[in-house]
Amino acid sequence: MKILFQATGPYSENSPFNHLKKDIYLELNRAGIEVHRVIPVHKGKEARDVLPLDSEPSTMTYDVLTVGKVPKGNFILRYLNSLLSTFRLFRKGLKVKDIDIVVSIVPQTAFVALILAKLKRKKMVALLMDIWPNNTVEAGVLREKSLVYKIFFAIQKKVYKHVDAIITISEDMKKTMVESGAAAEKIFVAHNWSHVDKPVVISPKKNKFVEKYNLNNNVFRVIYAGNIGAMQNVEIIVEAAEIIKNRKDIEFLIIGSGVNEKKIKEMVESKGLKNVSFFPFQPSEMAEYIYALANINMIPLRQGAVYTALPSKTAICLACGRPIIACVDKKSNYATMLQANGAAMVVEPDDTKGLAEAIKKIKDNVELQAKMSTDALACFEACFRKTENVKVYSDVFKLIAEKQ
């Protein structure tokens, strides 16, 4: 069996998904599945991927396609650029012979991959780590009643109808797609795993993030690390910090960058908060040191966002065995999973007072901290291990290839 992978953007060493892509490639190699990739690259740059191109498994081959740089900030220009790159990938894909399955990993242009699959009379599998165009509404980019959104949604419904299989990363996302017209039996769930596949144990005295910034270890830390964007509800953390600003024993760390970074910093400054500190975006190898440092790890999302995306930090937060507070819709499967395993406290995305109370409750109860730490590790073992989740990919490709 041979599959065709196509991505519209060049490799980025800062992508939080690199370890996932690498592990999927290695799993497909283990399963004896050949992979041909069309690798995008900017003009004048060297082609790169998650595995060294000069020492890859014999089951992996590739072509290179030069693409334009994606403009930041402007949604329409970014979409058109992605669409142009996808049509160029389409032309490349037409020339690739002996493939059995076309794989799309870019939800907003999955319809182009579907057309390619139909023209070549091959099957198609979509890997969806967020849900398009629903996520544009959650991010405040499009209005659900707008004509543009309705066109995008209608196109995506066609993809759901005609694709042979979809692999997504949460039960909530599966539910959203089923409600949008996808057949439940076509959708398979594989939770995103961490770049480490065992519990993380790091002493504060040997923590590289502590060493890098010369931090004091004698403080209770509430940590948010990641993208400071439109879908990440970092505002609720700042508001909770204001409520408990007189608790000198509790410190908030916000680590990362994004389109809302300036807004969040201005929010902290305007409130005169001394209990909130900012640190720049960190390389992926620093993630386990950051999350292991936390006394509480924060996973905040906008209302409704959990139904279109799963926070990629979930696995590593659980693996670090630290208490978690998730600010997500309590009725979501994600909230139910975390609470059923005792791995996290869950508060609604708009419940600022509830978040402040949850932080104080954990801080003031050492026995609760220990139990939540143990339960977080158990949830990691039960739901987010690489071995079980990565195998979903090879199993689905084999299943689809065998179907008549």
Peptide bond into 133 cis (omega under 30): yes
Say if residue 250 is in the same domain as residue 146: no
Say if residue 120 is in the same domain as residue 187: yes
Residue 131, exposed/middle/buried by CB under 10 A (0-12, 13-18, 19+)? buried
Say if residue 68 is in the same domain as residue 214: no
Helix, strand, or coil (residue 108): helix
Residue 67 bridge partners (DSSP): 42
Domain for residue 133, yes or no? yes
CB 157 within 8 A of CB 151: no
Q: What is the pLDDT of residue 285?
A: 86
Q: Locate tokens 């279109």: which residue?
A: 308
Domain for residue 198, yes or no? no
Domain for residue 86, yes or no? yes
Q: What is the pLDDT of residue 90?
A: 85
CATH number at residue 235: 3.40.50.2000
The full DSSP string for 240-261 is HHHHTTT-TTEEEEEEEE-TTH
CA–chain centroid gap for 126, Å, is 16
Say if residue 260 is in the same domain as residue 354: yes
DSSP annotation of 185 reads: G
Q: What is the pLDDT of residue 72?
A: 65
CB 31 within 8 A of CB 66: no
- pTM as predicted: 0.91
Say if residue 392 is in the same domain as residue 366: no
- Sign of the CA dihedral with 159 first, then 163, 165, and 167 last: negative
What's the pLDDT tens digit per position in 90-131? 888 888 888 999 999 888 888 989 999 999 999 999 999 989
Q: State the pLDDT confidence band at 70, using cuts at 50, 70 and 90.
A: low
Task: State the DSSP H helix or E strand holding residue 308, giving kind and residue range, or none if neither.
Answer: none
Q: Which two tokens stand for residue 191?
A: 């939770």
What's the pLDDT tens digit per position in 318-374? 999 999 999 999 999 999 999 988 889 999 999 999 999 999 999 999 999 999 999
Q: State the pLDDT confidence band at 73, using cuts at 50, 70 and 90.
A: low
Please give the residue range of the domain that contains residue 265: 204-383
Say if residue 262 is in the same domain as residue 322: yes
Tally of structural domains, the chain: 2
In one-letter notation, the amino acid at residue 150 is K
What's the pLDDT tens digit per position in 238-269? 999 999 999 999 999 999 999 899 999 999 99
Helix, strand, or coil (residue 133): coil
Say if residue 393 is in the same domain as residue 376: no
Query: Considering only CA atoms, which of 238, 283, 228 is closest in space to residue 259?
Result: 228
The angle formed by the CA atoms of residues 68, 124 and 156, to the nearest 5 degrees, is 70
Domain for residue 59, yes or no? yes
Say if residue 98 is in the same domain as residue 164: yes
Region of 273 (left: φ > 0; alpha: ψ -120 to 50; beta: rest) is beta
How far are the Cα atoms of 70, 109, 156 from residue 86, in angstroms, in the given order?
13, 7, 15
Residue 347 bridge partners (DSSP): 327
Query: Considering only CA atoms, which of 293, 316, 321, 274 is closest in space to residue 213?
Result: 293
Lowest mean pLDDT among 68-72, 219-223, 228-232: 68-72
Give 3-state DSSP helix, strand, coil % of the chain, rounded to 5: 45, 20, 35
Angle at which helices 352-363 and 366-383 cross, to 10°: 110
Q: What is the pLDDT of residue 160?
A: 95
More confident residue, 218 or 317: 317
Domain for residue 139, yes or no? yes
Say if residue 156 is in the same domain as residue 217: no
Tell me phi and psi for residue 60, to 5 degrees.
-115, 130
Q: State the pLDDT confidence band at 66, using cuts at 50, 70 and 90.
A: confident
Q: What is the pLDDT of residue 241?
A: 97
**Count of CB atoms situated within 10 Å of the CB of 73:** 7
Lowest mean pLDDT among 76-85, 272-281, 342-351, 378-387: 76-85
CA distance 389 to 160: 22
Helix, strand, or coil (residue 182): coil
Lowest mean pLDDT among 91-100, 170-179, 223-232, 350-359: 91-100
Non-local (6+) Cβ contacts of 14 within 8 A are 281, 283, 284
Say if residue 177 is in the same domain as residue 225: no
Say if residue 293 is in the same domain as residue 390: no
Q: What is the pLDDT of residue 162?
A: 95
Q: Locate tokens 């499967």: which residue?
A: 333
Q: What is the pLDDT of residue 42?
A: 85
Say if residue 82 is in the same domain as residue 182: yes
CA distance 12 to 14: 5
Residue 296, exposed/middle/buried by CB under 10 A (0-12, 13-18, 19+)? buried
Domain for residue 199, yes or no? no
In one-letter notation, the amino acid at residue 67 is V
The angle formed by the CA atoms of residues 284, 348 and 261, to the nearest 5 degrees, is 40
Q: Does the pLDDT value for residue 199 go beyond 80?
A: yes
Q: State the pLDDT confidence band at 13, using cuts at 50, 70 and 90.
A: confident
CA distance 278 to 256: 8
